[in-house]
Amino acid sequence: MRITIRVELDHQDGIEATLTAPTQSVDSSSRSDVVATKDCEVAQAFSLLRFLDDALQGRVRGGDSLGQWLRDNGIRVDFGPLKPAPSSQAQEVAS
């Protein structure tokens, strides 16, 4: 699973962060296993987004640490320059 966060700045090019979670093995012979794995990935993505929202709102207190949470969940973060938006997004921005 990958989550890409794009930060577009007014006076600079911006930055892009990609968070990559470890892949979970799926027994493709079982539809229920595939559905359970997808549900787990969605739950993990929502958990990450809630944690980021809490951090941005200043609600992360005490021993809570975004870096620790990422490490505990095996999530790797890569930063780089902002890449051009896919053509469908570019068209929406232009209109």
Which pTM was predicted?
Answer: 0.49
pLDDT tens digits, residue range 13-58? 777 888 787 776 655 667 777 777 778 878 878 887 887 777 777 7
- The count of C-alpha atoms lying within 13 angstroms of the C-alpha of 66, restricted to the half-sphere facing its C-beta, is 15
CA distance 7 to 17: 8
Residues near 71 by beta carbon (within 8 Å), at least 6 away in sequence: none
Percent of the chain predicted with pLDDT > 90? 0
